[in-house]
Amino acid sequence: MLTFTTHKKITNKLTQQLLLVSLLTLGLAACNDSDNDNSPEEVVVVPVTPAMEYSYSLTLTNLTYGQPLSPVAVTLHGDTRMWQVGQAASVALEKLAESGDNTDFISLEDNLASTSAEGPLLPGSSVTLNISTTEPMADYLTVVTMLVNTNDAFSGLTGVDISTLALNQEKSWRLNVYDSGTEKNNEAVGTIPGPADGGVGYDSTRDDIDLVGYHPGVVSKDDGLSSSVLTQAHRFDNPAVKLTITRTK
């Protein structure tokens, strides 16, 4: 016959054994869950929206009789102007207006996209340039070229908002001629970089009023300026250039 003390000891031992079995069962279950959890981690794929591309086609026509145009420069940029009447020209614009070299101009920091014609644009001829960008801030257009049989005349437009152009929409301008104000319009031998003279182009010394203005026109030796290397054939009327832009993309 079991005594109360003996029964109590057996009960306590049995309880301890049951508790141990429960703990072992839980541990094995936890290990089993961990070992068998081979399901792959869920990968969240964030869709990438491709940048929108804006493309434009520009056609320029030289309307002058005897003024070849330097390689046309085209740039897209933010809300700014590359020149203003009554303000001094930048060095990049001065180089373009005096020598026809647009290298510095198309490399200006404000440009978000730029392109250049490969060669001069002869009187009566046209050239078409294409330019594209994915920059959403490139909403403004600048086009510029030099009349090479002059001291520092250039034609173009700057800071024109083209953001509202719809696909395949076309817009045209007729462009007047500016004077960079950096070199005197003396038309003298050695100062005209075009074929009328083959003279020096850019000169860092500014010997004119140093303000951009509207060009007064060529005088020429046929009209009384005896020291001029230009003739009436090099005179020009405004507008000197026709520009048409079409959004193509």
Record the pTM.
0.81
What confidence category does residue 43 fall into, taking pLDDT thresholds of 50, 70 and 90?
confident
Topology of the domain comprising 54-247: Immunoglobulin-like (2.60.40)
**Four-CA torsion 155, 62, 102, 211, nearest 10 degrees:** -10
Mean of per-residue pLDDT scores for the chain? 89
User: What phi, psi does 55 have (nearest 5°)?
Assistant: -130, 145
CA distance 240 to 166: 27
Evaluate the CA torsion angle 94, 99, 102, 107 in order and state its sign: negative
Question: For the chain, how long is the longest CA-to-CA vector?
Answer: 149
Q: What is the pLDDT of residues 140-167, one digit of tens each?
A: 999 999 999 999 999 999 999 999 999 9
Domain boundaries, the chain: 54-247
**Has residue 215 got a pLDDT over 90?**
yes
pLDDT reported for residue 9: 46
What confidence category does residue 36 fall into, taking pLDDT thresholds of 50, 70 and 90?
low
Q: What is the pLDDT of residues 160-192, one digit of tens each?
A: 999 999 999 999 999 999 999 999 999 999 999
Q: What is the pLDDT of residues 79-99, one digit of tens each?
A: 999 999 999 999 999 999 999
